[in-house]
Amino acid sequence: MRYVRPLMDGRGAVRLFCANGSLTMSTPKKLYIKTYGCQMNVYDSERMAEAMGGEGYVQTDTPDDADMILLNTCHIREKAAEKVYSELGRYKGLKAEKPDLKIGVAGCVAQAEGQEIMRRQPMVDLVVGPQSYHRLPQLEAKARAGEKAVDTDFPEEDKFAHLKGRPKAKRGPTAFLTVQEGCDKFCAFCVVPYTRGAEVSRPSQRIMGEARDLVERGVREITLLGQNVNAYHGHEKGLGGLVRELATIDGLERIRFTTSHPNDMDDDLIAAHADCEKLMPYLHLPVQAGSDKILKRMNRSHTAEQYIRLIERLREARPDLHLSGDFIVGFPEETEQDFLDTMALIEEVKYGSAFSFKYSERPGTPAAERPQVPEDEKDDRLRRLQALLGQQQRDLQNAMVGREVSVLFEKKGRLPGQMIGKSEYLHAVHAVVENVEVGELAKVKIVASQSNSLTGELI
Ligand code: 5AD
Ligand code: SF4
């Protein structure tokens, strides 16, 4: 018997039409996806699950009962990449018990290491790079037929145009939407231009269509994603134009975007922070370092002063803007003075939140070839940097007490009547509320600040 068309019946079983047209039922195959790294991987994992849904797979949250395990990986730092191999090691027993289990590696490690993954871990059946997810069903079929399947091409076609539409199921109030992928900046430490390829923007009509569809299904807040999101050029007026057009969608209440590069922050996007009410007052704008010498060696193409002037312009447009950043300590040849310049920049800007990392050598990137900073110095600088950033984060959070914020409620809390949501500044806010549903926006007065969240009362 040859199965030709699997369809979900909505109750978790799969209807299978045999070649002769008769109908048979079978239990669905189960797909376990583990996602590492950035928000774009979260979005890609959702889309892969949807693509595999069309092939008769339902998602499971444990690898134990899976028919296919997919690791959506991150290559940005050595630790992230090595995690993949230790995770794969854990599935050895499972694979021995269940020879039909297929194991796949997707994401940036797949792109960077390709076939090498199968050499290090022969139990891997399938390797798929981020630009080829629309080919996942064919790759899975190949793996099921007992062949090794590898696809790490950068195909001409747009993977998003070829991925199946999202199913119409209801969803939570927040969603990610990828608008741009890849990076042409080539910062000297970063693998992204190699793993995600050149900058590509999705056409704005497609994004508008996907956004409308998300809103129909209950989404109230969309975060636009791109490795260099503000270099978006799929709209004639750039990202600012796209944000303004998205803001015309009734029912879409909040728009965010991440991650931006300082050099692509154009006048219109800055102005949108002043005049587009739906654009939230929170901006992730990585600077990486505060020393001009290091910024130059990082190939960032801007100085510390230019970054600070840009922040001033953004704050003129939106005085309550909360800023977030990424920092790298211990970049090759970073001296104590260079590090102190980074600390001084942080003192001047004052961040509401931040991500900070020790420099990690990435093979094939220019900085990996240069004289390295000793590990204990990196540790020491990271500790001092995180102490400062942590203090700023606490200070800004504590300063919210007494203020009114708007909260988009995302889920129920543990206490009776408690709901948890996010403020416009992306603070987690708990409140005991009556008659407020998940997905509703409400005005809340902040009454207390805890280490990682705020407590509010409905106004
Ligand atoms: N080492 C440490 N941090 C890195 N990042 C990117 N590449 C490296 C590296 N080789 C950080 C940058 C970037 C964030 C996503 O990860 O701060 O903005
Ligand atoms: Fe990497 Fe961002 Fe630099 Fe691009 S702009 S190379 S993604 S750090």
Does 185 contact ligand 1 (Cβ within 6 A)? Answer: no
Does 183 contact ligand 2 (Cβ within 6 A)? Answer: yes
What spatial distance separates the first Cα and last Cα of the chain, rounded to whole Å? 64
Q: Could you tell me whether strands 14-18 and 3-8 are parallel, antiparallel, or unpaired per DSSP bridges? A: antiparallel
Does 356 contact ligand 2 (Cβ within 6 A)? Answer: no
Q: Hey, which of 8-17, 84-93, 299-308 has the most confident mean pLDDT?
A: 299-308
pLDDT digits (tens, 9 = 90+) for 345-371: 999 999 999 999 999 999 999 999 999
Q: Residues 395, 387: contact at Cβ < 8 Å?
A: no
Does 421 contact ligand 2 (Cβ within 6 A)? Answer: no
Atom 1, ligand 2: residue with shortest CA distance: 190
Model pTM?
Answer: 0.90
- For the four alpha carbons of 403, 410, 245 and 225, in that order, the dihedral sign comes to positive
Closest of 44, 300, 42, 79 to residue 190, by C-alpha: 300
Does 187 contact ligand 2 (Cβ within 6 A)? Answer: yes
pLDDT digits (tens, 9 = 90+) for 308-326: 999 999 999 999 999 999 9
> Letter for the amino acid at 72?
N
Closest of 264, 262, 281, 255 to residue 326, by C-alpha: 262
The pLDDT of residue 66 is 97
pLDDT digits (tens, 9 = 90+) for 92-148: 999 999 989 999 999 999 999 999 999 999 999 999 999 999 899 999 999 999 999
Q: Give, for ligand 1, the residue of 196, 328, 381, 389 to mutate: max count of ligand atoms closer than 8 Å to Cβ.
A: 328
Let me know how many helices (H) and strands (E) the chain has, helices first. 15, 22
Mean pLDDT of 181-188: 96
Round the average pLDDT of the chain to a whole number and report it. Answer: 91
What's the rounded Cα separation, in Å, for the pair 54 and 5? 9
Does 261 contact ligand 2 (Cβ within 6 A)? Answer: yes
pLDDT digits (tens, 9 = 90+) for 133-149: 989 999 999 999 999 99
What's the rounded Cα separation, in Å, for the pair 56 and 222? 28
Whether the per-residue pLDDT at 389 is higher than 90: the answer is yes
Within a 10 A sphere around the Cβ of 12, how many other Cβ atoms?
A: 9
Indicate the burial class of 76 (C-beta count within 10 angstroms; 0-12, 13-18, 19 or more): buried
Atom 2, ligand 1: residue with shortest CA distance: 359
Q: How far is the CA of 13 from the centre of ligand 1 (A)?
A: 43
Q: Relative to the CA of 361, which ligand 1 atom is closest?
A: 10
In the block, residue with structure tokens 């039409």? 17
Q: How far is the CA of 355 from the centre of ligand 1 (A)?
A: 9
3-state DSSP call for residue 306?
helix
What is each CA distance from 172 to 134, 169, 219, 409, 421, in whole angstroms? Answer: 24, 10, 6, 10, 12
What is each CA distance from 148 to 121, 195, 293, 384, 445, in whole angstroms? Answer: 12, 21, 47, 47, 57
Confidence bin at 25 (pLDDT 50/70/90) = low
What's the rounded Cα separation, in Å, for the pair 82 and 93? 20
Within a 10 A sphere around the Cβ of 220, how many other Cβ atoms?
A: 20
Q: Give, for ligand 2, the residue of 187, 265, 284 to mutate: max count of ligand atoms closer than 8 Å to Cβ.
A: 187
**Ligand nearest to the CA of residue 327, numbered in listed order:** 1
The pLDDT of residue 50 is 87
Does 228 contact ligand 2 (Cβ within 6 A)? Answer: yes
Q: How far is the CA of 333 from the centre of ligand 2 (A)?
A: 20
